[in-house]
Amino acid sequence: MTPTWQGVYPAATTQFKPDLSIDVADTQRVVDNLIKDGVHGIIAMGTVGENNSLDGDEKRTLLRAVVETVAGRVPVVTGVSEFDTRRAVAYAKDAQKAGADGLMVLPAMVYVPTGEELTFHFRTVAEATDLPIMLYNNPPAYRVNITTGVLQALSNVKNIVAVKESAPDPRRFTDLINAFGDRFKLLAGLDDVAFEGFMLGAVGWVSGLTNAFPQESIQLVEAIRRNDLNRARAIYRWFMPLLHLDAEHDLVQSIKLAEQIMGRGSERVRPPRLPLSGARRKEVTALVERAAATRPSAA
C-alpha cells in the first residue's frame, strides 16, 4: 500500500521475552490489535520500537513479521535509524524487499552532521529505494534540525514526500507550509503538540501513546477532521497529562508501562533502558490509571 500519511500512525512497540530476546509473536499481536482498533498505518521500529537496541538481523526479521501480520490492511512504514549512511542504505534496500510500504528516515545516529552532510545522507538513502520517504525531524533528541535549507535542497528528490515534525515549537508547521506549500505532507511527531499540528496543517500523527489508548487517539483525529473542535479539545485535554510523557527522555519506558497497564503489551525494554521504578513508576502509573478511569465516551 502507498502511505497516504493521513490519520494515526502509532510508533508500535517491540515486544521482548523475559530473556530480552525479541518476542516476534507478541509484537505481531500488538500490531494486529492496533489495526483492529482502527489505526491508519503502522510505524515499525521507530524510537518507541527501540530501533537502535536491535541488531540488523533482528530488524529485518521483525519487519518481515510485521508485514506478514499487517497483510496489506494498512501501510507499514519502518524506521531507518543507523549509525552511518552505508548501513541506512542497506536497511532501506532490505526493507523494500521485505515488503515495507514506506520509510521513516532519521539522521545518522551519534554524529551531528552539517546541513550538507544531512542532505547527502537523506538523498543517498532516497536514491537507494523506490519507497516513499518521511523525514524525521526531532532536534531535542538527535541534536540536529532539518532546516528549510536542507528541505529546499531535497525538494527535487521525488520520493521524499513527508516530514514528521517533532520540534516542540508548533510554529514549524506554518514555517514549512509557507516555505514549501504542499510539497511535503506534514505529520505531528510529538504527542503533546498533535492538536496544534493538525490545526496548523499536519495531515497525520505519528503517535507513541496510541499504543495504550488507540481508540481515543483515533477519536481525537476524527473530531478534528469533522471540525468538531469542542470534542477534539475535550479529548486532548483529557489526554494531555499522558501525552506529555512522549516528550520526556524515558518516553519508551513510560509508553510501554502504559501499554502494560492497559493490557496491550509488556513493559520490558532493553538496557541501557530499564523499566521505570520508584517515584517515577508511581507517577506514570497514576497518570495511566486516572486516564483509564476517566476515558471520554465514544462519539
| Calpha distance 65→70 (Å, rounded) | 9
Contact (Cβ atoms closer than 8 angstroms) between residue 211 and residue 265: yes
Active site annotation includes 136? yes
From residue 201, alpha-carbon distances to 31, 128, 198, 283 in Å are 28, 30, 5, 33
Contact (Cβ atoms closer than 8 angstroms) between residue 59 and residue 103: no
Contact (Cβ atoms closer than 8 angstroms) between residue 35 and residue 28: no
The catalytic position among 9, 136, 142, 236 is: 136
The catalytic position among 59, 164, 185, 256 is: 164
Residues in the chain: 299
Active site annotation includes 256? no
- How many helices (H) and strands (E) the chain has is answered by 12, 8
| Calpha distance 130→102 (Å, rounded) | 9
Three cell numbers, residue 145: 534540525
Count of other CB atoms within 10 angstroms of residue 263: 8
Secondary structure (DSSP) of 88-143: HHHHHHHHHHHT-SEEEEPPPSSS---HHHHHHHHHHHHHT-SS-EEEEE-HHHHS
* Residue among 84, 81, 39 at smallest CA distance from 63: 81
Secondary structure (DSSP) of 32-77: HHHHHTT-S-EEESSTTTTGGGS-HHHHHHHHHHHHHHHTTSS-EE
Contact (Cβ atoms closer than 8 angstroms) between residue 12 and residue 43: yes
Catalogue the active-site residues. 136, 164
